[in-house]
Structure 1
C-alpha cells in the first residue's frame, strides 16, 4: 500500500492519460508482481498439480480479485474519499468524524492498528518482491542459487540508498516500465491459454466452490496463499489522492486486471501441460530466448513495487505525526513541486534494517510467503469495518443496505485473516510483532500527549488572565521592540516558554503572538481558513491554527497569512524571535491513565523527537529555547 500525495495543481494540469500512466507505475506495483509466486505457493499448499487443484485455485484467484479488489476497493471503498485522499488513516479520520462520540476512540484505535500493520507490510513487500524476481536466475544457471541472497541485498541496498535523493526523476520511467510489465504478463498468459484453452473453464465459480467443499481443511490453508494475489489491493485506495479515482479505475479495468487474470490462467495452463514447471511456473512460462529479459524486467518491476511501498511508509509517517500518533520525526521534502514526495531518514533506515533481516533470515520467497499476508489481511478487514460507519453515519444508508454490502465483504476479509493465522508460526509472527510494537508506540504517544495537555490545562493559568494581570497591574514588565512568537501552545492556555521568558529575561515584546495548532480530520485546510486571530489587547494576539493531516506546519508562512488580521503589524523575519519550550518529561508513576512503563516510553520518545524549530520550519538564528521539567 502506498500513500503518495500530489498538490492540487498537478491534478488540474495533467490529463487522464498521464495520470493513468502514473497510476500504473506507482499504484499497481505490489499487486502486479504477485504472479511471480502466488500460483506456485497455492499449488504447493494444495499438495501438487492435479486438474481439480489447478482449476479450483485459478478460479479462487479470479473470484477473489473480482470480489476484494474490483468490487470492494475499486467500486466501493474508493467512493469514500477524505477530501480526495485515501488510505487507512485518512479513512479513520473520516469515519471517526461522523461516528457516534462514544465510538470515536475505538475507531481511532482500529485505524492506528491498521496503520501499524501497514508498516509490517512495508517491510515484507520489498524483500519478497525482489528475492522472487532474482530467483529467476536459477533457471539460467542452477549454480547461481547461492547468489540469490547477495544479489537481492545489493539491489535492496541501492534502492534504500537513493531514497534521500527523491524519486521524481526515477518516477518518470515507472509508468512505461510497468506498462511493459503488464503487457508481458498478458502475453505470457495468452501464449499458454491458446495452447491449453480448457483452462478457461476455471472462470466458472463452481470450480472454486467445489475445491472449497471437497477438502475444507486443505482449502482453508490454500486460501492463505490465494490471498497473495490480493496484496497491494489497498494501494488503489491509498493513492487515490495522488491520481484520482477515474485514472486508477480505468488503469485497473482495462490493463492491470485483464493482464493479471490472463497470466494466472496461463500459468495454470502451463502446469497442467508440464507439471514439472511447478517450481517456477512464472519464469518457465517464457520461451528460452526470453528468460534473461524477463528476469531483468521482473527485477525492475519489483524495485518499482518496493519503491511505492517505501514512499507509502514515508507518507503514512507524515500523517501519523500530524494526527499526533508519532513524535516529531525529521521529514525532508525531496521535490519543490510535489508536496507528497518526502523522505523520512529514520523510517528509511528502520525499513532497510528490517528488510535485510527478512532476506537473510528467510532466504527465499517460499519462506517469505509464509510471513506474508496476515498484516495486509488485517488492514483490509479494518478498512471494511470503518466503511460501515461511512455508509451508515455519513452516507445515511438504511441498515439493510449497509448490511447487504458490508456483510459479505467483512465475511470474505475475515476468512482471509483466519486462513493467514496458520502462517503465524512459520513467519507471520514478524509483521505481527513489528505491528504490535508500532501500535504500542503510537497509542502511547497519543495518550501521553493527551495526558500532558490535560495537565497543562489544569496547572497553567488562562492566557487572557495572565496578559491582563501583567500589562495592567501595578508593576508591568519592561517592553522591548520586536515580535515574540510562541508556537505549539494549547488554545487558551499560557505557554510555558512565555513564562520562562518572563522569569529569566523579565521583558515583554512590543508584539506577542501565541500560536495554538490543531490537526483537522481533512488532508488540507485552505489558506483562508488556516488561522483565526484574537486580539488580547496590549499588543498580544492568540492565533488558533488549523492544519490538515497531510500538511507540515510552516510558521513563517503562517505569519505572512495573518498579517492582515493584525492592524499595523507586518512579519519581518529579522525582527521576530521564536520562543520554544524544551521541556524534559519525567516518568513518576503517578499518572492515573498510564502505567509506569508507558510513562517511561513516552518520556523516551519525547527526548528523541525532532527539534521543534525544525518541525515548525523556523529560521535557526531566530529561535530561543527555554528548558524546564514536566512530571507525568
Structure 2
C-alpha cells in the first residue's frame, strides 16, 4: 500500500514519455488536487485548527482510500477506465453515488460562493467596485454576509458554462487552467505577505520558490487546454479586471474634478469668523470621503467660532457642498458636521 504513494512511478513515467503526452498527463492529474484551494477559502471564517483537522483527519484519508480503490479496480478491470469512480460501487449503489457526488458538489460550490461574497466586499471597500447591497446574515460574525447580485451572477455564469460546454471533459479544461493560475497567484502573494510580516527572506524564497516551481509546471501543463475551454476563465477575469479598473479610474476623475469645486479651508473659516452662526443641532451624513485632496489641513482651531479641533489631511465632502450651495442653512450644516466629526 505504501508503494502506491511512491513518486518513483510518476518520475519514471515522465522520463520515459514524450513531452506532449507528459503535459497531457499532468493536466489530467492536476484535476485530482483541484478543490484543495476551496478547503482553505473559508479559513477566515472557521480558523486554522478546524481546516487542518478536516484535511488531515477526513479529506486526505478519504481521498487516499478512494484513489487506492480506483487504482486496484483498474488493475483488475482495465475496462473500468471509462468511469472508475462509479464502477467502484455495485449496480444498486449507482444512484446513491450520484446523490453523494451531487452533495459534494453543492458543499464545494458553497465554499466558493461565500468566498466570492468576501472578495466582493473587500473590492467595494477598496473602491474597485460600485457599492452593492451587502446583507449581514449574523449578528455575531462580521464575515457572514450575502451579496444578492454576486449570487445571481454566479448562478447565471454557472448555467451558461454548463450549457455552453455541454460535457464535463470540455469543462475540465477551463477549470484546470483557472485553478492553476489561481495557485500561482496565491503563491506569489503569500511570498509578498511573508516578507511583509518580517520572516527570513531565505526561508521564504526557499519554501515558496519550491511551491511556485510545482505550480508553474502544472500551469504549463494546463496551457495545452487553452483552446479547449481554458479561454473561458481568462475571458471572465479580463472582463472583471476591466470593469474594476474602469470604475476606479472613473472615481479618481470624479474626485479630481470635485477638488476644484470645494471651497478653500482658509476662505471657509474667514466667512465663519465674519458671520458666525450658532448651531443648536448637529447633523451627520455617512459617506465615503474623497481621497484626492490637497495636503493643506481643512480646518484649524478658530478662536471666534471654535468649530474645529481636528486636523484633516484631506478636504471633507461638506466643503464641496458649501462651495456649490452658498446658503446660510448649508453653512450651519457644515459647521454642525464639523463639530460632530471633531
* TM-score strictly above 0.5: yes
When structure 1 is superposed on structure 2, of 272-281 and 230-239 the one drifting more is 230-239
Give 1:243 shift: 1.3
Partner of 2:302: none
What whole-Å deviation, never above 9, does each CA across 1:215-238 have from its counterpart, x for those lacking one? Answer: 132111221122212222223443
Match of 1:373 among 148, 152, 176: 176
Partner of 1:485: 284
Give 1:318 shift: 0.8
SS in 1 for 2:27: helix
Partners of 1:306 and 1:470 lie apart in 2 by 59
Partner of 1:584: none
Contact 1:277–1:284 (CA under 8 A) maintained in structure 2: yes
SS in 2 for 1:423: helix
Partner of 1:214: 16
Match of 1:421 among 223, 239, 242: 223
The reply on whether 1:442 has 2:266 as its aligned counterpart is no
Matches within 5 A, 1:417-566: 417-457=219-259, 460-462=262-264, 464-473=265-274, 475-476=275-276, 481-486=280-285, 487-490=287-290, 492-495=314-317, 496-503=320-327, 505-509=329-333, 512-513=336-337, 540-542=339-341
Partner of 1:329: 132
What whole-Å deviation, never above 9, does each CA across 1:136-169 have from its counterpart, x for those lacking one? Answer: xxxxxxxxxxxxxxxxxxxxxxxxxxxxxxxxxx
Contact 2:263–2:323 (CA under 8 A) maintained in structure 1: no
The reply on whether 1:354 has 2:176 as its aligned counterpart is no
SS in 2 for 1:229: coil
Give 1:503 shift: 4.4
Partners of 2:129 and 2:220 lie apart in 1 by 30
What whole-Å deviation, never above 9, does each CA across 1:275-334 have from its counterpart, x for those lacking one? Answer: 222222111111223222222222122112222211221121111111221111111223
Partners of 2:3 and 2:70 lie apart in 1 by 14
Match of 1:311 among 114, 139, 145: 114
Taking a change above 3 Å as real, the CA distance of residues 503 and 425 of structure 1, as seen in their structure-2 partners, is: farther
Contact 2:180–2:218 (CA under 8 A) maintained in structure 1: yes
Give 1:394 shift: 2.3
Partner of 2:294: none
Partners of 1:396 and 1:300 lie apart in 2 by 41
Contact 1:371–1:426 (CA under 8 A) maintained in structure 2: yes
RMSD: 2.4
Unaligned residue ranges in structure 2 (runs of 5+): 291-312
Give 1:457 shift: 4.5
Contact 2:26–2:218 (CA under 8 A) maintained in structure 1: yes
Give 1:498 shift: 4.3
Partners of 1:467 and 1:284 lie apart in 2 by 79
- Report the TM-score when normalising by structure 1: 0.47
Contact 2:187–2:212 (CA under 8 A) maintained in structure 1: yes
Match of 2:83 among 252, 273, 280: 280
SS in 1 for 2:141: coil
Matches within 5 A, 1:183-198: none
Give 1:500 shift: 4.0
Unaligned residue ranges in structure 1 (runs of 5+): 1-196, 515-539, 544-632
Give 1:388 shift: 2.3
- Report the TM-score when normalising by structure 2: 0.83
Partner of 1:264: 67
Partner of 1:227: 30
What whole-Å deviation, never above 9, does each CA across 1:205-254 have from its counterpart, x for those lacking one? Answer: 11010111111321112211222122222234432221111221122112
- Equivalent pairs counted in the alignment come to 316
What whole-Å deviation, never above 9, does each CA across 1:107-142 have from its counterpart, x for those lacking one? Answer: xxxxxxxxxxxxxxxxxxxxxxxxxxxxxxxxxxxx
What whole-Å deviation, never above 9, does each CA across 1:39-62 have from its counterpart, x for those lacking one? Answer: xxxxxxxxxxxxxxxxxxxxxxxx
Partners of 2:250 and 2:271 lie apart in 1 by 32
Partners of 1:415 and 1:367 lie apart in 2 by 21
SS in 1 for 2:337: strand
Give 1:407 shift: 1.7
Contact 1:480–1:507 (CA under 8 A) maintained in structure 2: no
Contact 1:479–1:510 (CA under 8 A) maintained in structure 2: no
Partner of 2:187: 384
The reply on whether 1:338 has 2:137 as its aligned counterpart is no
Higher strand share: 1
Partner of 1:363: 166
Matches within 5 A, 1:97-108: none
Taking a change above 3 Å as real, the CA distance of residues 366 and 506 of structure 1, as seen in their structure-2 partners, is: closer
SS in 1 for 2:130: coil
Partners of 2:92 and 2:227 lie apart in 1 by 41
Taking a change above 3 Å as real, the CA distance of residues 211 and 497 of structure 1, as seen in their structure-2 partners, is: farther
Partner of 1:240: 43
Partners of 2:109 and 2:208 lie apart in 1 by 31
